[in-house]
């Protein structure tokens, strides 16, 4: 937290170029002294590039992760003018907001979720609530307190029956509820689906929740393009409105497949934006995962 506050001060007082100079040292440190993350990065890059990655490409992967975290300092302080942001599928969100109905906004550990804050400047009626597990909620609050306490988003802690009721209420109020749906707890039910040529485990809980609440799912990714450029991408995944119990399982499977396809499309399009630095393709029942 102390180092994060120092980086925040450097970045806000001396500017983004000065802060990015420090990032190179940070990225080099983790590339050198985080062997498990380094191996996971090399494994992912080999899959997405179709060959063994060079040292420069492995460094770029870590630096891209560092750059998106660094840019949170500006995004959480409302300094959107520092960025060139393109939005794909903006009308999809505009129509959803105009309908007055909420939806689940499913992302992943891919690019930057915070960059979606820029969309609020163009759609004043947009309200995004984040749903995540309690440990992550506490960690995020600590990070936000170090960067800008006033920037705390509305958070719902997952893992309890009350969380589902809270999500239902927010959807009824017309909010978009954001969930990162690419990681699972060991106790969660998962489906093994192909991603970049090999099977990986994906939790079905978010999709079951959407079916239970009979709501729509929209995919979201904020892809970092280098320098100060981002692309926010929205894609329709599923609409569980009015779905019957008999149709539920098949609809959940189809929605999950579309979500994984959207993830893979983003990896192909912006390969250095994948931020799962652990053995993602390992079977959780057979491997020690964080």
Averaged over successive runs of 10 residues, the pLDDT of the chain (290 residues) comes to: 81 90 93 96 98 98 95 89 95 95 97 88 87 70 69 81 93 96 82 97 95 97 97 98 95 98 98 97 64
pLDDT value of position 87: 95
**Secondary structure of the chain in HEC code, one letter for each residue:** CHHHHHHHHHHHHHCHHHHHHHHHHHHHHHHHHCHHHHHHHHHHHHHHHCCCCCHHHHHHHHHHHHHHHHHHHHHCCCCHHHCEEEEECHHHHHHHHHHCCCEEEEECCEECCHHHHHHHHHCCCCCEEEEEEHHHHHHHHHHHHHHCHHHCCEEEEECCHHHHHHHHHHHHCCCEEEEECCCCCCCCCEEEEEECCEEEEEECHHHHHHHHHCCEEEEEEEEEEECCEEEEEEEEEEECCCCCHHHHHHHHHHHHHHHHHHHHHHHHHCHHHECCCCCCCCCCCCCCCC
pLDDT value of position 187: 67
pLDDT value of position 94: 94
């Amino acid at each position: 937290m102390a180092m994060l506050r120092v980086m925040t001060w450097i970045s806000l007082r001396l500017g983004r170029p000065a802060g990015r100079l420090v990032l190179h040292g940070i990225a080099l440190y983790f590339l050198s002294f985080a062997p498990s993350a380094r191996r996971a990065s090399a494994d992912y890059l080999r899959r997405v590039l179709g060959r063994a990655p060079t040292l420069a490409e492995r460094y770029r992967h870590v630096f891209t992760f560092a750059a998106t975290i660094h840019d949170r300092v500006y995004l959480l302080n409302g300094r959107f003018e520092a960025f060139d942001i393109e939005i794909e599928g903006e009308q999809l969100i505009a129509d959803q907001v105009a309908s007055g109905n909420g939806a689940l906004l499913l992302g992943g550990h891919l690019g930057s979720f915070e960059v979606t804050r820029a969309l609020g400047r163009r759609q004043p009626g947009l309200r995004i609530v984040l749903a995540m597990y309690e440990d992550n909620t506490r960690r995020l609050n600590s990070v936000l307190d170090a960067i800008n306490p006033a920037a705390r988003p509305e958070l719902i802690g997952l893992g309890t029956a009350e969380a589902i009721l809270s999500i239902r209420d927010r959807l009824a109020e017309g909010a978009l509820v954001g969930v990162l749906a690419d990681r699972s707890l060991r106790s969660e039910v998962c489906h093994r689906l192909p991603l970049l040529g090999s099977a990986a485990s994906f939790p079905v809980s978010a999709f079951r929740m959407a079916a239970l609440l009979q709501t729509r799912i929209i995919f979201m990714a904020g892809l970092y393009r280098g320098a100060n450029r981002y692309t926010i991408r929205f894609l329709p995944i599923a609409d569980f409105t009015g779905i019957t119990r008999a149709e539920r399982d098949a609809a959940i499977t189809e929605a999950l497949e579309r979500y994984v396809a959207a993830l893979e499309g983003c990896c192909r399009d912006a390969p250095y934006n994948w931020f799962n630095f652990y053995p993602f393709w390992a079977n959780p029942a057979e491997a020690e995962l964080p």
